[in-house]
């Protein structure tokens, strides 16, 4: 009862004084001093040892968007992901900060592109010592278009070995650029082969080299990375067991959920071993429960069909939106999620 009476008194005061209840409460409280807090910039919180922290404010790459226009498919997300993967071997995430490239300028990149017709892009990633915040290493990807037209106008493709040689020449020029800047830090080079713009698979890394203490030798080594579309003749011929498991997955989907549209997969291999399998299931479902049940079934069947050493990414989509996903990493627990904004 006391609370009710107090509330009535406050309301009456508001009406008489033409002010809000909040203003009345403020008037009844004694003034208090508010401490001034100074916020110092610091690296963002590292949510996982899998990812790098970065400096703030975040600095964009100096050459962002400087791509030579060619008939080639440039997969920026795959390219950068690969650069980060290889960087961890030389620059662990617990000891280094990430920063987008700040030393290769747009003008310098355009000069290299004019000198080398096959060069699509040079992308730079910088790594800083976490303690001193000083530059400690650089990773550079050299993206090359393997296709060219001969004297008769016929489109011909360079072999990986021919691209190795061209990439190494460009890497030597880029290395000289950093030497003029008096940077005595490790340089990790990655040569990336693009695919035609009509290709259903992304480009791939074909070679890497590490230069330390401004040594001339980079110790170049091959990278045997390949991508396969599922279903396709290539995967059927070169990796028949994985192709057969995918067919069984399609069969389970068709028998259990007749309204689903299709399954399309992309398998990533390194040294002829499957590393990752991404599958997109396209469907036009009318109910949330159907999406949940379909995704659960597919997740179960994929876990049974593919070894735990293979990361699995399942995305259930319509033509214009993502409905649900299931991710099974090689380390850690799987993640199953249905989008909260689902609207049948």
**CATH number, domain containing residue 193:** 3.10.570.10
Taking the CA of residue 239 as centre, how many other CA atoms within 13 Å lie in the half-sphere pointing to its CB?
A: 23
Calculate mean pLDDT across residues 40-48: 54
- Say how many domains are in the chain: 3
Same domain, 210 and 72: yes
Cis omega (within 30 of 0) on the bond before 57?
Answer: yes
pLDDT of 36: 44
Same domain, 240 and 217: no
The more confident residue out of 172 and 39 is 172
Tell me whether residue 77 is in a domain: yes
pLDDT of 19: 41
Residue span of the structural domain in which 15 resides: 1-37
Calculate mean pLDDT across residues 74-99: 93
The count of residues in the chain is 344
Calculate mean pLDDT across residues 219-227: 95
Q: How far is CA 185 from CA 4, 207, 215, in A?
A: 73, 20, 11
pLDDT of 188: 96
The more confident residue out of 312 and 331 is 312
pLDDT of 16: 39
Threshold 0.75, pTM exceeds: yes
Between 170-179, 185-194, 210-219, the lowest mean confidence (pLDDT) is in 210-219
Same domain, 218 and 240: no
Same domain, 165 and 62: yes
CA distance 145 to 147: 6
Q: In 26-169, where do the E strands start and end?
A: 53-54, 96-100, 119-129, 135-144, 147-149, 155-157
Calculate mean pLDDT across residues 54-77: 83
* Cβ-count burial 33-54 (b if 16+ within 10 Å, e if not): eeeeeeeeeeeeeeeeeeebbb
CA distance 234 to 243: 9
Percent of residues, the chain, with pLDDT higher than 90: 59
- The first and second tokens of residue 4, run together, are 């009710």
pLDDT of 57 higher than 60: yes
Tell me whether residue 343 is in a domain: no
The more confident residue out of 67 and 23 is 67
């Amino acid at each position: 009862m006391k609370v009710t009476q107090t509330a009535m008194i406050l309301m009456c005061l508001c009406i008489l004084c033409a002010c809000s209840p909040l203003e009345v409460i403020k008037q009844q409280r004694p003034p208090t001093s508010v401490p001034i807090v100074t916020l110092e910039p610091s690296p963002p919180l590292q949510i996982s040892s899998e990812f790098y922290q970065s400096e703030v404010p975040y600095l964009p790459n100096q050459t962002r968007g400087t791509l030579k226009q060619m008939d080639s498919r440039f997969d920026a997300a795959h390219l950068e992901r690969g650069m980060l993967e290889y960087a961890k071997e030389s620059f662990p995430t617990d000891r280094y900060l990430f920063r987008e490239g700040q030393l290769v300028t747009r003008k310098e990149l355009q000069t290299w592109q004019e000198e080398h017709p096959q060069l699509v892009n040079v992308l730079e990633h910088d790594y800083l010592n976490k303690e001193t915040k000083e530059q400690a290493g650089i990773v550079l990807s050299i993206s090359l278009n393997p296709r060219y037209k001969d004297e008769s106008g016929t489109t011909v493709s360079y072999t990986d070995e021919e691209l190795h040689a061209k990439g190494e020449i460009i890497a030597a020029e880029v290395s000289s650029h950093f030497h003029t800047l008096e940077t005595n830090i490790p340089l990790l080079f990655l040569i990336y082969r693009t695919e035609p713009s009509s290709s259903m698979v992304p480009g791939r890394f074909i070679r890497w080299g590490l230069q330390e203490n401004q040594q001339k030798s980079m110790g170049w080594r091959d990278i045997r990375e390949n991508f396969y579309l599922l279903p396709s003749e290539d995967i059927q011929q070169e990796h028949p067991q994985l192709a057969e498991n995918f067919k069984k997955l399609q069969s389970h989907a068709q028998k259990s959920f007749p309204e689903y549209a299709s399954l399309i997969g992309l398998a990533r291999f390194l040294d002829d071993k499957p590393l990752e399998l991404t599958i997109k299931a396209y469907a036009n479902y009318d109910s949330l429960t159907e999406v949940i049940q379909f995704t659960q079934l597919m997740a179960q069947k994929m876990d049974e069909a593919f070894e735990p050493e293979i990361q699995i990414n399942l995305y259930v989509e319509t033509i214009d939106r993502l409905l649900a996903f299931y991710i099974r990493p090689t380390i850690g627990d799987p993640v199953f999620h249905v989008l909260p904004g689902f609207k049948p």
